[in-house]
């Protein structure tokens, strides 16, 4: 005789919540790593770049003084993410 585990609706909701919390924690951790990489770059402006990770898309926002620095910020983020997340570069260039 096989045993069958019965799962109540509340249990499924709890599992979804736990998974959601774990995902949010992982996203915040990855965001903080990218922010740290940006701050540690030799370009002081990188410290003003902000990022937000949601549903496997990291969005870079803020202002930089050149298109070169915009590209550098994107490369720093991509280097940390190793292709696991899409990077959207919404940095504005203002001299």
Give per-residue pLDDT as tens, 27-59.
Answer: 889 999 999 999 999 999 999 999 999 988 999
61 CB contacts (<8 Å, ≥6 apart)? 49, 50, 51, 52, 90, 91
| pLDDT greater at residue 24 or residue 57 | 57
CATH number of 9-93: 3.30.1340
- Kindly report the average pLDDT of the chain as a whole number: 82
pLDDT value, residue 27: 85
At residue 2, what are phi and psi to the nearest 5 degrees?
-85, 145
**Which token pair is 26?**
């992982």
Angle between helices 9-39 and 67-81 (to 10 degrees): 130
Distance CA 39, CA 92 (A): 18
Question: Is the overall model pTM greater than 0.85, yes or no?
Answer: no
pLDDT value, residue 25: 82
Where is average pLDDT lowest: 11-15, 35-39, 60-64?
A: 11-15
């Amino acid at each position: 005789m096989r045993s069958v585990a019965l799962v109540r609706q509340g249990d499924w909701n709890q599992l979804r919540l736990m998974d959601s919390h774990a995902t949010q924690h992982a996203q915040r951790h990855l965001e903080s790593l990218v922010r740290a990489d940006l701050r540690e770059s030799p370009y002081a402006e990188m410290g003003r770049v902000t990022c937000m990770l949601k549903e496997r898309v990291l969005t870079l926002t803020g202002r930089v003084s050149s298109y070169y620095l915009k590209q550098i910020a994107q490369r720093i983020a991509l280097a940390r993410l190793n292709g696991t997340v899409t990077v959207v570069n919404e940095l504005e260039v203002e001299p």
